[in-house]
């Protein structure tokens, strides 16, 4: 892996010197044409390979028709102009924004649909979009990672905004296994690229604060494959569960709330109930503390058909669930329930209850148990998570708490620069930095820590509007600071 990343980085540096990043990102090694075959033709399956032209064409057409199904019916809510919060340096109509060039129609080889497909109603709609022109002078390219089909890169646009680029991974498993089976590099590229196109359409149709923003796309000819597709999206940070377990409960709750809002949206999307067949944490990213789904190529809209409840068994490694088979011949709520149980086993059970405020733990335990038993749907789960947010943000969870009655001396416009101690979970790994609703809660926290002798109230707030407070083990040195107020435990 290190060798591969080093090679990718070296290739990018060379490409910048030549003035073109895309030739490196999407330029596979060329294959010499067979005798009698034009340089632009697809290679035919070689001797001994399983399958053939017809099977590859069938798979391409199946994926093509899937994309078309998701594209029909007009754009989803919010379609049109992309979210430009991270692209504020690119003025409308400026050099970095353009309408993507119309894809060139090509004769479909082997009976497969033409490539690239013409943008359908669900594809990037009217209005300025980032296109190929925005990628001509990118800088700071970094390899982020790759999966079964795609590779992801981080680049900085000319104005300074950082975005993510996604493209088919030419050394990935999906393309490689197809080429080994069919021996048709271009046809296999189309097969893999339709997954990227499906994701692009779904990012547009499912627009939501917890779905990664699609900024644009680019078709560009490569050395031996015409019209390779690159999508340009919002950049997020990978979800690292070990790191999340070390963060504050407030930040972990935000992730669970984001997930609850996302699952509610997927259950009621313009396309119907959408399930994420691959629900691992690596399919999500964090953007400014919000959880967003980024990989949608394995999403499915169709509910599972059934003739009896025996067809409606929802299987997981630890347990199974049997769902009703409707009179219309569909397993009722299977897409929604699959999402909910995956949210429970990958996120809620680890992030929700631990180190939560004691008054909120009964409700949080109920949420975890209900999603683990699938007794709630997405609507009730979100309603309960929103209730937790209201109780926490408003301070109502403190109503039954008793004040310690301890007295503290106030020193305005001052701070204690040292004498930190560590607590868990903290917003700062080098000290004890916690959020509080009011001064009374800060006093209660300090009284509950054996080593606490003082605390410093900052002018910073968390995403819920709560004040951030440093708790200190002493106050031997108090220095001026106009943005903070120090409280010192009174003697006696």
Q: How far apart are CA 438 and CA 238, in angstroms?
A: 33
Contacts of 480 (CB under 8 A, 6+ apart): 413, 414
Q: How far apart are CA 455 and CA 474, in angstroms?
A: 9
CB 115 within 8 A of CB 131: no
Q: How many residues does the chain have?
A: 492
Instruction: Identify the DSSP state of 118.
Output: P
Q: How far apart are CA 162 and CA 270, in angstroms?
A: 30
DSSP labels, 130-162? B-GGGGTT-EEEEEEEE-SSEEEEEEE-TTS-E
Strand partners, 150: 168
CB 293 within 8 A of CB 277: no
Q: How far apart are CA 63 and CA 300, in angstroms?
A: 12
Q: How far apart are CA 163 and CA 21, in angstroms?
A: 14
Chain center to CA of 405: 46
What residues act catalytically?
A: 278
Q: How far apart are CA 52 and CA 33, in angstroms?
A: 18
| Backbone torsions φ then ψ of 349, nearest 5 degrees | -65, -25
Give the residue among 130, 135, 164, 296 at the shortest CA–CA distance from 237: 164
Give the residue among 262, 343, 338, 260 at the shortest CA–CA distance from 300: 338
Other C-beta atoms lying within 10 Å of the C-beta of residue 479: 11
Output Rg (C-alpha) for the chain, integer angstroms: 27
CB 459 within 8 A of CB 414: no
| Backbone torsions φ then ψ of 166, nearest 5 degrees | -120, 140
């Amino acid at each position: 892996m290190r060798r591969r990343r080093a090679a990718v980085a070296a290739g990018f540096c060379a490409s910048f010197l030549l003035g073109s990043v895309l030739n490196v990102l999407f330029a596979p090694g060329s294959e010499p044409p067979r005798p009698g075959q034009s340089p632009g033709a697809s290679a035919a399956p070689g001797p001994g390979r399983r399958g053939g032209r017809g099977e590859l064409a069938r798979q391409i057409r199946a994926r093509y028709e899937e994309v078309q199904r998701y594209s029909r019916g007009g754009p989803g809510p919010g379609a049109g102009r992309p979210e430009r919060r991270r692209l504020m340096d690119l003025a409308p109509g400026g050099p970095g924004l353009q309408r993507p060039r119309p894809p060139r129609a090509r004769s479909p080889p082997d009976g497969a649909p033409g490539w690239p497909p013409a943008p359908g109603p669900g594809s990037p709609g009217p209005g300025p979009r980032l296109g190929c022109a925005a990628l001509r002078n990118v800088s700071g390219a970094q390899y982020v990672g790759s999966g079964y089909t795609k590779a992801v890169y981080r680049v900085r646009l000319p104005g300074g905004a950082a975005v993510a680029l996604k493209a088919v991974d030419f050394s990935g498993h999906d393309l490689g296994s197809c080429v080994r089976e069919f021996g048709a590099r271009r046809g296999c590229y189309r097969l893999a690229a339709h997954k990227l196109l499906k994701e692009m359409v779904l990012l547009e149709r499912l627009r939501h604060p917890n779905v990664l923003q699609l900024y644009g796309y680019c078709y560009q000819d490569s050395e031996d494959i015409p019209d390779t597709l690159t999508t340009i999206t919002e950049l997020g940070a990978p979800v690292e569960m070990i790191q999340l377990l070390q963060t504050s409960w407030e930040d972990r709750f935000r992730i669970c709330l984001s997930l609850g809002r996302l699952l509610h949206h997927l259950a009621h999307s313009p396309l119907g109930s959408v399930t994420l067949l691959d629900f691992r944490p690596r399919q999500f990213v964090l953007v400014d503390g919000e959880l967003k789904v980024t990989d949608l190529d394995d999403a499915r809209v169709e509910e599972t058909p059934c003739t009896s409840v025996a067809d409606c068994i929802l299987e997981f490694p630890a347990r199974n669930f049997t769902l009703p088979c409707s009179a219309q011949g569909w397993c009722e709520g299977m897409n929604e329930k699959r999402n909910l149980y995956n949210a429970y086993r990958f996120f809620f059970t680890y992030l929700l209850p631990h180190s939560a405020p004691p008054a909120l733990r009964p409700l949080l335990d109920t949420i975890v148990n209900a999603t683990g038993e699938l007794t709630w749907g997405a609507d009730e789960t979100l309603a309960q998570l929103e209730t937790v947010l209201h109780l926490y943000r408003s301070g109502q969870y403190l109503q039954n708490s008793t004040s310690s009655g301890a007295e503290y001396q106030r020193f305005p416009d001052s701070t204690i620069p040292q004498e930190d101690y560590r607590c868990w979970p903290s917003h700062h790994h080098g000290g004890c930095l916690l959020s509080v609703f009011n001064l009374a809660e800060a006093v209660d926290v300090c009284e509950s820590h054996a080593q606490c002798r003082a605390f410093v109230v900052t002018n910073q707030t968390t995403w819920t509007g709560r004040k951030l407070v440093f708790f200190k083990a002493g106050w031997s040195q108090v220095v001026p600071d106009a943005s903070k107020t120090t409280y010192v435990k009174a003697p006696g």
